Amino acid sequence: MNVAGLVPFTTIDFPDKLAAVVFFQGCPLKCPFCHNPDLQPFETGSKMSWSEILNFLAERKKRLDGVVLSGGEPLMQPGIVEAAKQIKKMGFSVAIHTSGVYPNKVKELLPFIDWVGLDVKAPRKKYELLSGRKNIENQVFETLDILSQSPIDFEVRTTLDPNYLDIEDIYILADELKDFRVKTYALQKYRTFPGDTNPPSVFETEKFFQDTQLIDFLKMNFPNLIMR
């Protein structure tokens, strides 16, 4: 388990839970808007040992409700299923934040998780552009299908990078998501980051949220539309 870091307390990463977030090193994608590019390389050598994480959680059984497994891409970790099982056995609820590119790992994790935050980067036709990987969209939508048929609560979220996405793309993506009975859909505002060489204007980042026709369309199709 290649642990990259730990946030000991959060109220925003796991709905209705007081949680800690464990970040793992490594991600197979190269998203142009990534805010954690340092977590992309699958480097050896953890910043914290897994036993340190378990000791930390053992001391906070009465203070925290849950644990979020994030990254990078946490499902790259060979021991992620066992890790979720250990955390669940300690009495915590477990969430994962994932890009959805490992559907088989999602299947394995279902008995040990309570919530999933699934990043869906773009409509199928633009997935390579937004993920930096060829032919990856089928895995993502397979994960979406697995989640839609499971009892697990999940959220689909899309970061609206105006350098690569336009309003028509969101209509197309929404139509694709409807087929999977998505209830909670989050629009995430593009935010600049260190090293951002082509930051869009405020007008460009806000245009999605100010398009009332688009927002009304999304509200009609997703019972819980979140804008953040």
Report the percentage of the chain scoring pLDDT > 90: 86
| pLDDT, tens digit (0-9, with 9 covering 90-100), for 157-188 | 999 999 999 999 999 999 999 989 899 999 99
User: Could you check whether the bond before residue 72 is cis, i.e. omega within 30 degrees of 0?
Assistant: yes
| pLDDT range class, residue 149, cuts 50, 70, 90 | very high
Q: How many residues does the chain have?
A: 228
Where do we find the tokens 């409807």?
178
CA gap 83, 59 in Å, rounded: 17
- Residue 76 to residues 1, 5, 35, 37, 101: CA-CA distances in angstroms? 10, 16, 18, 16, 9
Closest CA to 145 of 172, 185, 176, 170: 176
40 residue type, one letter? Q
CATH number assigned to the domain covering 3-227: 3.20.20.70
Q: What global pTM score does this model have?
A: 0.95
- Residue 36 to residues 50, 67, 69, 70, 220: CA-CA distances in angstroms? 21, 19, 15, 11, 33
104 residue type, one letter? N
Report whether 189 contacts 228 (CB < 8 A).
yes
Annotate 133-144 with DSSP letters as a single string.
-TT-HHHHHHHH
| pLDDT, tens digit (0-9, with 9 covering 90-100), for 1-51 | 999 999 999 999 999 999 999 999 999 999 988 878 888 888 777 788 999
pLDDT at 195: 73
User: What are the extents of the domains in the chain?
Assistant: 3-227
| pLDDT range class, residue 98, cuts 50, 70, 90 | very high
Give me the chain's average pLDDT, please: 95
Show Cβ contacts of residue 132 under 8 Å, excluding neighbours closer than 6 positions: 29, 30, 31, 32
| pLDDT range class, residue 97, cuts 50, 70, 90 | very high
